[in-house]
Amino acid sequence: MDAKGKAVPALVDALNRFEGDSDAYSYLTSPLLGRSNYQERYVFVYRNKKTRMLDSYKYEDNHPDRPDVFAREPFIVRFSLPTKELPELVLIPQHTVPSKAETEIDALYDVFLNVHAHWGIEDMIFLGDFNADCGYVAKKRWGNIRLRQKPGFHWLIGDKADTTVRENTRCAYDRIVVHGERCLDAVVPGSAQAFDFPKEFGLSEAEALEVSDHYPVEVELYSSCWRLQPTNLGGLILLALAIVSGTKYEI
């Protein structure tokens, strides 16, 4: 809970004290999203030296066939990247409502069409807590979900992944979905995964649950087509994922 909006500025200030001015971070927050008492923001943290935020907009959830699908509308951000092979990238985070997970994931295809028409960009990453497993999306229902069935979408976090902290659950709720050949070519093979932060930092389950009941999901991108060395674009991508998947704002 962060009704006063102090958590993200404090996080970025701490990062910048650690990194110094030469590699400083900036951040972008969405407006409050949601129509009930419970609302959320999406947050993007990125290195000024590595990338620029070019544009952003909130998806207007008014598709003529299915208006008002999303409990929290997607907030779409366009970034420039320091590589000729992938000069621009669009990030589209989404936290679905569990009871509407199938419908909302399917409707992300309409968001894709909207972004493509708006900016003419193919390279996009959809990411976040889709609630895309276990009791919320049955295996037999995946055939009805366009984001899964349409060609060109690559699900980097698979159905067998576990993105939950609790030992008694094993569900692939959180996903990363890539579209665009340049974006797919930039992905370091095997880098998309859930980050087991309790194991990494030696936390008990109870301690970890004070942070989040989900693992962040992450992916690494190459900095050039020659693939000599992965880039620190993780400073953009990984932090955005971690915050989108693990931080919620309740009013």
Q: Cα–Cα distance between 31 and 42 in angstroms, integer?
A: 8
Three-class SS of residue 82?
A: coil
Cα torsion for 151, 155, 159, 162, to the nearest 10°? -170
CA-based nearest residue to 186, from 147, 150, 156, 162: 156
Q: Cα–Cα distance between 39 and 244 in angstroms, integer?
A: 13
75 DSSP β-pair partners: 58
Both tokens of 85, joined, read 């092979």
Three-class SS of residue 114?
A: helix
Catalytic-role residue among 40, 73, 88, 102: 40
Catalytic-role residue among 60, 73, 85, 95: 95
If you ran DSSP here, which 8-state letter would residue 222 be given?
Answer: B
Q: Cα–Cα distance between 91 and 238 in angstroms, integer?
A: 11
CA-based nearest residue to 217, from 197, 187, 184, 193: 193
Is 95 a known active-site residue? yes
Is 40 a known active-site residue? yes
Neighbours of 79 (CB within 10 A): 23
Which residues are annotated as catalytic?
40, 95
